[in-house]
Amino acid sequence: MIELRELTKRYGGRVAVDELSFQVQPGVVTGFLGPNGSGKSTTMRMILGLDAPDHGQALIDGVRYPELTWPLRTVGALLDAGAFHPGRSARAHLAALAAGNDISSSRVELVLGIAGLSDVAARRAGTYSLGMRQRLGVAVALLGDPGILLLDEPVNGLDPEGIRWIRDLLRGLAAEGRTVFVSSHLIAEMALTADRLVVIGQGRLLAETTVAALAATDDSLEDAFFRLTSQTTDYRGGTAS
The answer to whether residue 76 is domain-embedded is yes
The answer to whether residue 185 is domain-embedded is yes
Q: Has residue 103 got a pLDDT over 80?
A: yes
Domain that holds residue 12: 2-80+150-232
Nearest residue to 100 (alpha-carbon basis) of 134, 63, 144, 136: 144
Res 74: pLDDT: 96
Q: At 34, phi and psi to the nearest 5?
A: 180, 160
As for how many domains the chain has, the answer is: 1
The answer to whether residue 223 is domain-embedded is yes
**Range name among 10-24, 86-100, 157-171, 184-198 with the lowest pLDDT average:** 184-198
Res 221: pLDDT: 66
The answer to whether residue 172 is domain-embedded is yes
CATH number of 66's domain: 3.40.50.300
Give dist(CA 14, CA 7) in Å, integer: 15
The answer to whether residue 142 is domain-embedded is no
Res 241: pLDDT: 40
Q: Angle at the Cα of 177 (from 51 to 217), degrees rounded to 5?
A: 80
The answer to whether residue 123 is domain-embedded is no
Instruction: Write the pLDDT tens digit of every residue in 26-37.
Output: 999 999 998 888
Contact 14, 202 (CB under 8 A): no
pTM: 0.89
Q: At 8, phi and psi to the nearest 5?
A: -140, 135
The answer to whether residue 134 is domain-embedded is no
The answer to whether residue 103 is domain-embedded is no
Question: How far from each other are the two terminal CA atoms of the chain, in whole angstroms?
Answer: 25
